[in-house]
Amino acid sequence: MDRAKLFAPFEGTRDPRPLAIVRIAFFTGLLLHFAPSLIWLEVGYGRGAVRVDAWNHWLFSHLSHTPPALVRVLAIVTLLALVAAIVGIRPRIAAIVAGLGCYAFASFNSIHLQTLALVPAWAILMLWMICGGGANAYAPRASGEREPSLLPSLILFQILLAVWFSGFEKLLAGWPWSNEMGIVLAYPHGFMVRDWVAAFPLLHGPVVSTLLTWGTLAVELGTPVLLLVRRTRLAALVVYELFFLGIIAMLEVPPLFYFIFASVPLLALDDSQLRQLTDVRSRVRRWVPRRRAS
């Protein structure tokens, strides 16, 4: 097989806007995720705080001996790096500082930081540290130049792989025959589900929960593949976005989870598809004032 063709998705350049959107969404998610722990520092990182070891054991053991003033400085530096990444100031350096800071604090004490929400975040941070980029649009010194494809393509691969394997794990766990969504939707008010879900009787019947169980499997196993095929991409993107919108509307999950999984598929869009979307947006913009005037 032709090597150039094999590596084509990871080489060349592409429109800078989708990666800039992912940069803003991802680092905003990280900021929302870590800021409460890093601002109310003494609750999770003070002397005598209840701590849980979920990431790096060496850091877990040793960071507790760090002077509180130094911990405070590290927290401030981490938060500033996250803000710099969102704004688009030196995103690679910001990703290195923010990534090391977030990993150190998550290792110091993982309680309160929802371990599974961080798994894809570490992958994206590592890629950003290695590849850099993402500041050619929506940034103070944005050049508007096209971005190298390496970073966006690897981030897209990583997230679509995670979604597909989530579906595969579900198959191995006995879905769809176990009607697992029936269990999730049966959770009482105050545990995982949003209040409207706990109070909405239609969602608690076996028919709806079975449909949602099958639908979840279909989306998780289907859309990662269909997003890679040009002809089915836009339809798959709509289904995929509705699915993750549904998750955050029904379940109490961290915004970081939604910001990662909802923004990254935009990286699958090629130049002409982005133009199509931009055309739709400008048509809507033209249509709205006309409606208002009439």
Q: Is 192 in the site for other proteins (CB under 8 A)?
A: yes
Residue 147 bridge partners (DSSP): 14
Q: Is 127 in the site for other proteins (CB under 8 A)?
A: yes
Q: Please report how close the Cβ of residue 202 comes to other proteins at its closest, in angstroms.
A: 14
| d(C-alpha 160, C-alpha 26), whole Å | 15
Q: Please report how close the Cβ of residue 285 comes to other proteins at its closest, in angstroms.
A: 30
Q: Is 32 in the site for other proteins (CB under 8 A)?
A: yes
Exactly one of 211, 229, 242, 252 binds other proteins (CB under 8 A); that residue is 252
Exactly one of 86, 94, 150, 212 binds other proteins (CB under 8 A); that residue is 150
Exactly one of 83, 100, 251, 277 binds other proteins (CB under 8 A); that residue is 251
Q: Is 100 in the site for other proteins (CB under 8 A)?
A: no
| d(C-alpha 280, C-alpha 257), whole Å | 28
- For 50, residues 6+ apart whose C-beta sits below 8 A from its C-beta are 111
Q: Is 112 in the site for other proteins (CB under 8 A)?
A: yes
Residue 287 bridge partners (DSSP): none
Q: Is 40 in the site for other proteins (CB under 8 A)?
A: yes
Peptide bond into 120 cis (omega under 30): no
Q: Is 57 in the site for other proteins (CB under 8 A)?
A: no
- For 35, residues 6+ apart whose C-beta sits below 8 A from its C-beta are 79, 82
Are 63 and 108 in contact, with CB atoms under 8 Å apart?
A: yes
Q: Is 119 in the site for other proteins (CB under 8 A)?
A: yes
Distance of alpha carbon 231 from the chain centroid = 25
Q: What track of x and - describes contact with other proteins for positions 10 through 29 (by CB under 8 A)?
A: xx------------------
Closer by beta carbon to other proteins, 44 or else 133: 44
Q: Please report how close the Cβ of residue 186 comes to other proteins at its closest, in angstroms.
A: 4
Q: Is 166 in the site for other proteins (CB under 8 A)?
A: yes
Exactly one of 83, 93, 114, 273 binds other proteins (CB under 8 A); that residue is 114
Total residues contacting other proteins by CB under 8 A comes to: 63
Q: Is 255 in the site for other proteins (CB under 8 A)?
A: yes
| d(C-alpha 113, C-alpha 63), whole Å | 17
Neighbouring CB atoms inside 10 A of 215's CB total 15
| d(C-alpha 3, C-alpha 224), whole Å | 23
Which H, E and C letters describe 232-294, residue by residue?
HHHHHHHHHHHHHHHHHHHECCCHHHHHHHHHHHHHHCCHHHHHHHHHHHHHHHHHHHHHHHC
Closer by beta carbon to other proteins, 10 or else 214: 10
| d(C-alpha 92, C-alpha 129), whole Å | 5
Q: Please report how close the Cβ of residue 30 comes to other proteins at its closest, in angstroms.
A: 13
Can you read off the two tokens belonging to residue 164? 């597909």
CA angle 104, 108, 112 (to 5 degrees): 105
Q: Which residues bind other proteins (CB under 8 A)?
A: 3, 7, 10-11, 32, 36-37, 39-40, 43-44, 49-50, 52, 55-56, 103, 111-112, 114-116, 118-120, 122-123, 126-127, 130, 150, 154, 157-158, 161-163, 165-166, 168-170, 172-173, 175, 180, 183-184, 186-192, 204, 220, 248, 251-255
